[in-house]
Amino acid sequence: MKTGRVNVFGNYAYTYRHSYLNRTSFRVLGTGDAATTFDRRSRDPEITRGHSYKAGLDVDLMPRQTLGFVYSGFHNRWQRDGQGPTRIRRAGSGQEDVLRNHNITDEPAHQNLFNLNYKATLDTLGRLLTADADYARYASTSDGFLANQRFNSSGQPTEPYQQLNFVQPTDITIRSLKADLIWPVASVKLAGGLKYSAVRADNDFRYDSLRNGSRVFSPVLSNHFVYQERIYAAYLTAGRQLGSLSLDAGLRVERTRSEGNSLNLQQVTERDYTNLFPYLSVGRKLGENHALNVSATRRINRPQYGALNPARFFFDRYSYHEGNPYLQPETSWNYAAAYTYRNDYSFTLSHTRVSRAIAQFARQNEQTAEIVLRDYNYASREDYDLLMVVPVKLAAFWTVQNTVDVRYQRLRFRPEENVVFSPSRLSVDLSVIQTLQLPGKLTLDVSTFYQSPMLNGSYLLRRYFGVQTGLKKSFFKEKLDVKLAVVDLFHTDHYWGYSIYEPINIRYDHTGDTRRANLSVTYRLGGKLSAGQNRRLEEAGRIR
What is residue 532's predicted lDDT score, i.e. its pLDDT?
53
List of residues 6+ apart from 300 with CB closer than 8 A:
254, 275, 277, 329, 330, 331, 332
Residue 480's pLDDT band (cuts 50, 70, 90): confident
Q: Strands 459-461 and 65-90: what pairing?
A: unpaired
**Where are any strands of DSSP class E within 287-441?**
290-301, 312-316, 319-322, 330-341, 345-364, 371-395, 398-416, 419-421, 424-438
For the entire predicted model, the pTM comes to 0.88
Q: How far is CA 223 from the centre of its chain?
A: 25
pLDDT for residue 105 is more than 90: yes
Could you give the CA distance from residue 161 to residue 100 in angstroms, rounded to a whole number? 10
pLDDT digits (tens, 9 = 90+) for 68-88: 999 999 999 999 999 999 999
pLDDT for residue 328 is more than 50: yes
pLDDT digits (tens, 9 = 90+) for 265-319: 889 999 999 999 999 999 999 989 999 999 999 999 999 998 998 888 888 889 9
Residue 94's pLDDT band (cuts 50, 70, 90): confident
Share of the chain above pLDDT 90, in %: 77
Bridge partners for 185 per DSSP: 188
Backbone phi, psi, residue 538, to 5°: -55, -45
Q: Would you give the DSSP letter of residue 222?
A: -
pLDDT digits (tens, 9 = 90+) for 110-128: 999 999 999 999 988 889 9
* Average pLDDT value for residue range 95-117: 95
Residue type, 499: S
pLDDT for residue 527 is more than 70: no
pLDDT digits (tens, 9 = 90+) for 143-192: 999 999 999 999 999 999 999 999 999 999 999 999 999 999 989 999 99
Residue pair 63/49 in contact (Cβ under 8 Å)? The answer is no
Residue 540's pLDDT band (cuts 50, 70, 90): confident
Backbone phi, psi, residue 5, to 5°: -90, 0
Bridge partners for 424 per DSSP: 410
Q: Closest Cα to residue 107, out of 167, 54, 62?
A: 167
